[in-house]
Structure 1
Amino acid sequence: MPLTTSIAMCTYNGERFLQAQLDSLLTQRPLPDQIVIRDDVSSDGTGEILAAFVPKAEALGIVVDLQVNERNVGYRRNFDGALRACTGEVIFLCDQDDVWHADKLSRMCAEFEARPGLLALHSDARLIDGEGKVLPRSLFRSVGIGARQLRLMHGGEGLRLLLQRDFVTGATMALRRRLLVVALPLPAKTWVHDAWLATLAAINGDVDSIEQMLIDYRLHDGNQLGLGGNDPVSPAARRQIHLEQDSSGDLLVRLQELGAPASLQAVIQCKQGHMAIRSRLPRSRVRRLPLVLAELFSGNYRRFGRGVLSAAVDLVKSSR
């Protein structure tokens, strides 16, 4: 029996690109079994587009669960609600402004069917702009996923990479529904949903990458998340240091609730401590130097960042 599939889609004021994405969902072969849509109280024409889509999808045999929130809850809680409503064995996360290639579902489901221990999977993507023009670099290349990272992912080292930085893009991601047992509820503030799901998948099973580009990932001025944080000297990356201290704490609490091995909890505690040091480095470079060198020689910059590069950035630029 083929795996049953659900698509979890969240929308908010997405009328500009939404129709193209919805149309692409109906090009999938095989079609999804269920599409769950949670609209976060859009004020544009999104509601009308969704209302017209429902009978069109249902006529093809797809079960559509469309709900509009009573009030705006933000993307984290919106995705949490959408995921809870999914019934398929494999759940695909879906943004409102991309375009899926017709073989996305079939290609990813083939991986899940062949690998029972696989909990999450993400793919490369073709980047396009707001007008649909293809941009010169792929998603993987833009976020720094190269041959080394792919080799480690394919070899079961996903957690090692995810402890260094977030690189799984939710718009390209699929997961087994059983992952939700340990992943829900999604953290309210500190984690982006895709990074949280990928990390819990790596802890509880396997997470892997598909090198094929399976969607057109749209970059435009209305992106909520986009590709930020991959440049280690950018303001976004510097702010991320503070967030990662708190997010490590949230992950540690979840692991304690799940009764995770003490050795794994110790690794997350170590990362939390490392990020605490990085977030509180003195403004004085002279006073900063011994702290950075101690973390560098301990191996923490390599385990939880980009090694010497992250250390050099900390020496030059304070995170405060």
Structure 2
Amino acid sequence: MSPTVSIAVCTYNGEQFLQEQLDSLLAQTRRPDQIVIRDDVSSDGTLALLRAFVPRAEAAGITVDLQVNPQNVGYRRNFDGALRACSGDLIFLCDHDDIWHADKLQRFCAEFTARPTLLALHCDAQLIDAAGQPLPGALFDALHYTAAERARMHAGDGFRLMLKRNLMTGAAMAFRRQLLADALPLPATGWVHDAWIGTLAAMRGQIDSLPDALIGYRLHGNNQLGLGGNDTSPRSVRRQRQLQTEQSQCEVLLQRARLLHLPPPMIALIERKHRHVSARATLPASRLRRMPTVLRELLNGNYQHFGRGVLSAGIDLVRA
């Protein structure tokens, strides 16, 4: 029996690109059963486009749940609200500025049906510009998601991969609704929703990748998250901020993992990462005084497990 499908669409001032995305949802060869839309109090023409979309979708046999938040709540709480309203066996996350290829739902559903233990799945994406024209390369290339890492994920090593860095982009992923029992409420800070759900899925079971590009992932000047971000802070500031974020993420993940009584080896690995990023975040200003900590973390394998190996160690030794 084919699983039922919900799509969680979150919008905020998406008038410029939204219509193409909505059209691509209706053009799916395997249509969704439910589309849940949460608008975060857009001030442009987004809501008019959404209201015009509802009868088109319903005429195609799709149930639509469209609501506007009473006040702006930000992307985390917006996705949290949308996910709570999803009733399908499979849930797809949807941004308002991408374009889905017509066979996306069909390909994902076939994979989930064939693999009952698969909890979350993501695919590659064609990068496109603001006009929808292809850009060089693909999402996996931009994320430096290597063939070796894809093989490890396919072999069941998804948790270690996701603990090292997020490899699952929300616009290109889907997961079984049963994961919401673990994932909700979404963390208020630190975690982005896709990384959080993907990591919890990897802790509960198998996650995997599809090698094909099944969406057009749009890069433009107003991307809230992902590759299109425009952080112009100095590299040293961004590096320190990232380490502090990873500290916070470990703390939140540890709290949830203990609450869910997940296996002790998984909890121990999160604790190990927390100690490592905490050590990196608090390195002394003196390069000479950093050396013992950096060498210790390098020799015990932590830079390899949670960073870029010798490169990360070298950066910590020489950075200003």
Counterpart code for 1:205: G
Q: Does 1:205 align with 2:205?
A: yes
- Report if aligned partners of 1:219, 1:226 keep a CA contact under 8 Å in 2: no
For the residue of structure 1 that corresponds to 2:175, the secondary structure is strand
Higher mean C-alpha displacement, 300-309 vs 108-117:
300-309
Please give the TM-score of this superposition, normalised by the length of structure 1: 0.96
- What secondary structure is seen at the aligned counterpart in 2 of 1:215? strand
Tell me the equivalent position of 1:108.
108
Q: How does 1:81-230 map to 2 (within 5 A)?
A: 81-227=81-227
Structure 2 gaps of 5+ residues are: none
Equivalent residue of 1:163, what SS?
Answer: helix
In the TM superposition, residue 235 of structure 1 has moved relative to its aligned partner by: 5.0
- Residue 69 of structure 2 corresponds to 69
State how far apart, in whole Å, the 2-side matches of 1:51 and 1:2 are: 29
2:303 corresponds to which letter in structure 1? Y
Where does residue 319 of structure 2 map in the other structure?
317
- CA spacing shift, 1:44–1:151, aligned 2, 3 Å: same
Q: Of 262, 265, 269, which aligns to 1:263? A: 265
- Alpha-carbon distance in structure 1 between the residues aligned to 2:143 and 2:57: 34
TM-score under structure 2 normalisation?
0.96
Q: Distance in 1 between matches of 2:104 and 2:111?
A: 11
Residues 127, 217 of structure 1: 8 Å contact kept: yes
Runs of 4+ in structure 1 deviating by more than 4 angstroms, as ranges, are: none
- Number of residue pairs matched? 315
Partner of 2:33: 33
Cα shift readout 1:117-137 (whole Å, capped 9, x = no counterpart): 111000000000111121111
Letter in 2 for 1:292: V
Post-superposition CA distance 1:87-140 (Å, at most 9, x none): 000000000000000000000111100111111000000000111121111000
Q: After alignment, is 284-293 or 174-183 more displaced?
A: 284-293
Residue 279 (structure 2) pairs with residue 277 (structure 1)? yes
Q: For residues 308 and 183 of structure 1, do their structure 2 counterparts lie closer, same or farther at Cα, with a shift above 3 Å needed?
A: same
1: CA distance between counterparts of 2:38 and 2:240?
A: 32
SS state of the match for residue 164, structure 2?
coil
Is residue 164–residue 306 contact of structure 1 (8 Å, CA) maintained in 2? no
Give the CA deviation at 1:234.
7.2
Report percent identity of matched pairs: 61
Name 2:241's counterpart in structure 1: 239
Listed as ranges, the gaps of 5+ residues in structure 1 are none
Q: Secondary structure at the match of 2:106?
A: helix
One-letter amino acid of the structure 1 residue matched with residue 48 of structure 2: E
Q: State the superposition RMSD in angstroms.
A: 1.3
Q: CA deviation at 1:237?
A: 4.4
* Separation in structure 2 between the aligned mates of residue 97 and residue 253 of structure 1, nearest angstrom: 34
Report SS of the residue matched to 2:53.
helix
Q: Which residue of 2 aligns with 1:290?
A: 292
